[in-house]
Amino acid sequence: AQPARVLRPRAEMALPTPTLVGWPEDEAAYAALRRGYAIPVVAAVAGQAVGWTGEGGGRLHQAFVDLLLAELGLRDWPLAPAAYAALFDGPLDSLERVVSEWALPPAALDAGDGWRDAYAVVAFIVAAHPAERLATLHRRLAVAPDATAWLRRHNVAARDAAAQKAWLRFVAAEMETAVAPAPPAQAVQVMCNPSLGERATLYRYDVAADSWQSEVSGYYWVFMNPLPDDSGVLLQAWQPRSQGSVGMVWQGGELRDVFRQAINVHLFRVDAVQAHAAGDRLQLFEYDFGQNQAQVSVLDLGTCDEAGCAQVGLQAQPVWSPGGEQTLQMLPMGSLWLGDGRGQMTALVNQGRAPFWLDEETYGFARRQRVMRARLDGGATETLLDLGEWGTAVGLDEFAVVSIVRSAYNADWLYILLELADGAPLVVIHDMARQTTRSFRLAGALGPYNPLFTSPDGRWITVRTFETDGPGWQLHLVDAATGETRALRSGHPTSFPGFDWSADGEWLVMVRDGFLLLLAPADDYRQLIVHDFPECDFAGWVN
């Protein structure tokens, strides 16, 4: 029966007689006939018994009725463990969502995913009150003026931190649990800050032992990123008295200062210099809010004194050659420059954008809608891929090339990120050997920085996009091996980059509001780590 008809108050039902539907000939037929009669009858009687008037809470009422039908053996409870796991792909704001969707009527269970929030919240309330009869909990819904009042009647507030933690733990317990793959031989470093402007604490989470350890605190940290070799983390702390900030490295149980910066200059990304993956040279991306511009520099952790470590500013973002002794940089007008291993420009080599290296002597770049290949010795420039022709064949007229990366998973593959005319990103995987091209359209809008990352083994392409109608963001995973994609949404906008891959490329940790999400995508396994700390904005794998 349709929910809108069966669940409305004082519904009139015309039920067929057995002579019209045919006499049941076996027990299965009798059971089917019984369900056919019982489901609409029980649904209508339940609504009248609790006094539901149909003026609000339609989907919550629908969930209570289906829970009753499940207890009577008349209908399967639709919220299977796998559905709880699917909730984690969203922002997990079901408590707030049922408040905002109070006025919505009952809906068909195949009409999108909105019904899951209401069903999960009803299951949460019922589980939290095991001594209460289902009819009692249902009746409180019927007399509540709104969802906020109904939740408060059960000691739950949609925006209350304790209620949110209880909700997260409930959903985690109800999740479908697959056999966990072996975790990496690493821990997760987490930076937690009670609120902006307060002193933060570094914690270490042991995945295998499921234990937390406080390591160091007392600083106004506003940023954390693992070092490229995962031997420690790079931090940035405000120093209110000096109106500046200081960069610190937490490594081997010791904290040391490595650079100083103005208070309005904020770190937002740290990369390795390829030839220095041991972590002694870092590429820093900062944003100067005073000048309203981004800036790039190289920090040499191997060259330090009491004043800090050597830091050299660069004119543009460099792309290091595989050996790390050369760089390519693109200036704003589209000129491509060759540079040395320190990132200092030495010669103009071409015109284009999105430079990348194929080997120490060969590089590539985008020119208009073509991916080009050229040699440093001045040989002929040739076309690797005509994106314009390909786009016409697949129905794409306008797009811009954002970045290109050669795959570490398959040396014949190029990962190309495009921005379409409507602002949506498109990931393209081009096989240079077979001359085949695959593409994957993603949701959201790209940010003002290079949003294309890959896992250490190159199998997983990760693209971070921002929601166009709110502060949330999405992390898209594209499996280059299988072509499967998934998106993980977060309503936690202050975390950046918000995720980190383990050294073996098998596990991803993602910062979420009130918990950490550990994901082993190749095994389709996810684990929720709910913590009791107020705000944890940064997390990364460390040795």
Higher confidence at residue 412 or residue 42?
412
The number of beta carbons lying within 10 Å of the beta carbon of residue 532 is 10
Return left, alpha or beta for 342; rule: phi > 0 is left, psi -120 to 50 is alpha, else beta. Answer: alpha
* Structural domain contains residue 309: no
* Structural domain contains residue 298: no
Query: Could you please report the per-residue DSSP string of 32-81?
Result: HHHHHHHHHHHHHHHHHHHT--SSS-HHHHHHHHHHHHHHTTSS--S--H
Residue 23: both structure tokens together: 């006499």
Say what percent of the chain tops pLDDT 70: 89
Q: How many domains does the chain have?
A: 2
| Least confident among 37-41, 180-184, 352-356, 412-416 | 37-41
* Structural domain contains residue 535: no
Position 434 scores a pLDDT of: 96
* The residue to which tokens 């209401």 are assigned: 118
Q: Which of 389, 414, 444 is the last residue of a domain?
A: 444
pLDDT band (50, 70, 90) for residue 14: low
User: Residue 278: is its pLDDT beyond 70?
Assistant: no
* Structural domain contains residue 483: no
Nearest to 170 by CA among 116, 225, 128: 128
* Structural domain contains residue 123: yes
CA separation (Å) from 173 to 115, 131, 507, 517, 530?
20, 20, 21, 14, 11
User: Residue 474: is its pLDDT beyond 80?
Assistant: yes
81-135 residue pLDDT tens: 777 877 776 666 778 878 888 888 887 776 566 688 888 889 999 999 999 999 9
CA separation (Å) from 73 to 32, 65, 119, 524?
12, 12, 18, 32
pTM to 2 decimal places:
0.85
* Structural domain contains residue 42: yes
Q: Which of 444, 471, 494 is the last residue of a domain?
A: 444
DSSP symbol at 252: T
Position 495 scores a pLDDT of: 62
Position 356 scores a pLDDT of: 96
* Structural domain contains residue 270: no
Position 266 scores a pLDDT of: 85
User: Residue 326: is its pLDDT beyond 50?
Assistant: yes
* Structural domain contains residue 136: yes
Nearest to 64 by CA among 82, 53, 80, 77: 77
Q: What is the helix, strand, coil percentage profile of the chain, to 5?
A: 20, 40, 40
Q: Which domain holds residue 438?
A: 329-444
Q: What are phi and psi of 105, to 5 degrees?
A: -80, 170
480-495 residue pLDDT tens: 999 999 988 876 666 6
Nearest to 126 by CA among 138, 139, 109, 114: 138
AA identity, residue 458: G
Helix (H, G, I), strand (E, B) or coil at 116: helix
Higher confidence at residue 304 or residue 243?
304
Pairing mode, strands 232-239 and 244-251? antiparallel
Q: Determine the Cα–Cα distance for residues 348 and 341; give it in Å rounded to an integer.
A: 16
Position 16 scores a pLDDT of: 56
Q: Determine the Cα–Cα distance for residues 417 and 439; give it in Å rounded to an integer.
A: 10
Helix (H, G, I), strand (E, B) or coil at 491: coil
Nearest to 330 by CA among 360, 358, 351, 357: 351
Pairing mode, strands 436-441 and 244-251? unpaired
Q: Which of 388, 422, 444 is the last residue of a domain?
A: 444
pLDDT band (50, 70, 90) for residue 5: very low
Position 274 scores a pLDDT of: 62
Position 193 scores a pLDDT of: 82
User: Residue 166: is its pLDDT beyond 70?
Assistant: yes
Query: Please, is 348 exposed, middle or buried when counting C-beta atoms within 10 Å of its C-beta (0-12, 13-18, 19+)?
Result: exposed
Say what percent of the chain tops pLDDT 90: 39
Max CA distance (Å), the chain = 95
Q: Determine the Cα–Cα distance for residues 314 and 266; give it in Å rounded to an integer.
A: 16
Q: Determine the Cα–Cα distance for residues 96 and 337; give it in Å rounded to an integer.
A: 51
Position 15 scores a pLDDT of: 52
Position 206 scores a pLDDT of: 95
